[in-house]
Amino acid sequence: MDFLHRNGVLVIQHLQKDYRAYYDFLNFMSNVGDPRNIFSIYFPLWFQVNQTVGTKMIWVAVIGDWFNLIFKWILFGHRPYWWIQETQIYPNHSGPCLEQFPTTCETGPGSPSGHAMGSSCVWYVMVTAVLSYTVSWMDRFSTTLHRHAGGRSI
Ligand SMILES: O=P(O)(O)OC[C@H]1O[C@@H](O)[C@H](O)[C@@H](O)[C@@H]1O
C-alpha cells in the first residue's frame, strides 16, 4: 500500500508543480462540479429546464454518494496529506511538502475521493444533457432548412 501512496504523492507533486498555470481552470472545474451544488443549484435549475436531467442529477447525488460511502468503508484509505506525516518511509523528516486547499481539508477516509466521483458524475450529466440538446436542436434546424429549400424549388 505504501508503494501506491508514494506514487500518489509523486503524481500530486507533479500536478501541483507543473500544472500551476492551470490552477484557476482546474479549481473552477472542481468547484462547479462540487456535488453539494446538486441540491441547492443544479437539481432545482435543471428540473425547470428538463425534468429527466433534473431527476438524473438527484440519482447521481444519491447513488454516487452511497457508492462512495460503501467504498470508503471497504478501503478506508489514508489521505496523502496526512499519510506523509505518519509514514516511516521518508527518513529524517525528509517527507515531501504537499499544498492543501479548502476542499482537500477533509477528515474522513480519502479513498476513493467523494469529490472526484461526485464531480465527474455532475459534469457527465450536464455535458451529455447539453450535447443531446444541441444535437436535437441541430436536427430540427436542418429539417426546417430542408423544408424551406424544398418549398422554394417546387
Ligand atoms: O471524499 P473527498 O474527496 O474528501 O470529498 C468529500 C467532499 O466532497 C465535496 O465535494 C463535497 O462537497 C463534500 O460534502 C464532501 O464531504
User: What is the mean predicted confidence (pLDDT) over 26-39?
Assistant: 91
Q: Report the mean per-residue pLDDT for the chain.
A: 90
26: cell is 482546474
Mention every residue, 6+ apart, whose C-beta is less than 8 A from residue 85.
95
Whole-angstrom Cα distance, residue 75 to residue 72? 5
Question: Does ligand 1 come within 6 angstroms of the Cβ of 64?
Answer: no
Complex confidence, ipTM: 0.91
Helices 51-75 and 114-153 pack at an angle, to 10 degrees, of 150
pLDDT at residue 2 in the model: 84
Per residue in 64-119, pLDDT (tens digit) is: 999 999 999 998 888 988 888 888 888 877 888 899 888 788 888 888 999 999 99
3-state helix, strand, coil in the chain (%, to 5): 80, 0, 20
From the CA of 104, give the closest atom in ligand 1: 4
pLDDT at residue 152 in the model: 62
- The protein residue with its alpha carbon nearest to ligand 1, atom 12, reads 36
The model carries a pTM of: 0.81
